[in-house]
Amino acid sequence: MVISDRSMIRAARRIVVKVGSSSISGENAHQIGPLVDALAATHSTGTQVVLVSSGAIATGIPYLALDGRPTDLATQQAAAAVGQNVLIYRYQDSLDRYDIVAGQVLLTAGDLENPTPRSNARRAMERLLDLRILPIVNENDTVATQEIRFGDNDRLAALVTSLIGADLLVLLSDVDALYTKPPQEPGAERIDFVAAGDPLDGVEIGASSLAGVGTGGAVTKVSAARHAAESGSAVLITSTGLVRSALAGESVGTWFEPQASSPRS
């Protein structure tokens, strides 16, 4: 179905939610609980929910006794290997409160651009959703070297949204919406609605206000939102703290209108 505005979110059949590293690691690791509360509430209505979660490298850093995000690739991969295990445990521990089982799905962007692994990934995801499992997707950072250096999970979330034909993609970060300029600057105004095909002329798109653990920002979110919208999925950009309101259809964040005539992949 086409979700044309926020009032239809509760009727969505399938939703992909993406959360960034800065929202669920380090000092913000406590936000996993409220995030899971919101996902579980939506899951309980019968809606199929997929979570695309960054944070493996950021979560693994303290366990390697590092002072900050490593710059060399091998140490990034080591941090991801340790952090992914801890991250999934934290999610499952929180999901246990609702008797929801998580399924870990590690992908690279390349997997979704090659017909054979793309088909395999779609089949596995569809089966997990049919079994009422909540898939938690992340980039396979231990092997996806290019993605560690240049990639981001906003793009991966958009590809997953297209892969499974989700009705809605919710992109979460530390900023509550898209603004006409970086939100910390004077005169920045929240953008409530972006029409299909709107080039956003005159909008100054800056990076996320938090740096050091993540690789995305407003630029990657807008690019991902456009990709998903062009594939026929609605997109909502907002903050992790507003996820419950977003999934309830309240007037938060920035809404990207889906391209109604676009075929599902």
What residues form the annotated binding site for substrate?
54, 141, 153
Distance between CA atoms of 194 and 197, rounded to whole angstroms? 8
Our measurement of the distance from residue 24's CA atom to the centroid of its chain's CA atoms, rounded to an integer in Å, reads 12
Residue type, 76: Q
Residue type, 89: Y
The token pair at 264 is: 């599902």
Please measure the distance between the N-terminal and C-terminal CA atoms of the chain and give it in whole angstroms. 14
User: Looking up tokens 């089966």, which residue turns up?
Assistant: 127
The annotated binding site is made up of 18, 54, 141, 153, 173-174
The annotated binding site for ATP is made up of 18, 173-174
To 5 degrees, how large is the angle CA 115–CA 51–CA 81? 80
Start-end of H helices in 196-248? 218-230, 243-247
Positive or negative torsion for Cα 251, 255, 261, 265: negative
